[in-house]
Amino acid sequence: MPMCDAVYLPTFEGCLVCGQPHVNPQTLNRRFKVTPEGVQVSFQADIRQAGYRGIVHGGIITALLDETIGWAVAVSSKKFFVTGELTVRFVRPLPIGLTVTVLGRSLEHKSKYSIGEGEIKDENGTLYAKASGKFFHMRHDQALEVNSYLTFMENDLNILASV
């Protein structure tokens, strides 16, 4: 891991969560940060992510948790994954315009899958949603293919580089 103040993760330009607007106009355009606890990303929804008036759509919340937990598991194990199961508990409605932090942690690695969990909280620690899931290991050749089309910026972690 490079010695710097912050380490981030690469992006896939077409991704709904971490993509680039010039490729995917609907992207949330998030950049994930590696932390000692796992992975985190900040998010503030606007009207395009509404489910009901003033409330973020549950699918957006689920996508953010899925991506954040999946990256946490990948960083921890130095492998890429596909989501096999994700259970989300919506604790309270997430208001449009509120800045929140999405946190993902890796919990356990097994021979074919890993387990992770995550949560969405505001700056006061109020919990809006939490999730846990199983993430199945991608075959190494598939992981290398994915890695080949990711966009790496300065200080981005290449989790396959040390494999």
Mean pLDDT, the chain, rounded, equals 95
DSSP string, 91-158: -S--BTT-EEEEEEEEEEE-SSEEEEEEEEEETT--EEEEEEEEEEEPPHHHHHHHHHH-B--TTB--
Instruction: Please count the CA atoms within 13 angstroms of the CA of 130 that sit on its side-chain side.
Output: 7
* pLDDT the model gives residue 3: 47
* pLDDT the model gives residue 5: 74
Enumerate residue ranges in the chain where pLDDT < 50.
1-3
* pLDDT the model gives residue 19: 96
Quote the CA–CA distance of 41 and 136 in Å, as a whole number: 22
Quote the CA–CA distance of 73 and 113 in Å, as a whole number: 10
* pLDDT the model gives residue 4: 53
Burial of 105 (0-12, 13-18, 19+ CB in 10 A): buried
> Going by DSSP bridges, is the β-strand pair 99-109/81-90 parallel, antiparallel, or unpaired?
unpaired
* pLDDT the model gives residue 162: 67
Task: Give me the residue label for tokens 């990948």.
Answer: 74
Quote the CA–CA distance of 57 and 73 in Å, as a whole number: 25
Domains of the chain: 7-149 (3.10.129.10)
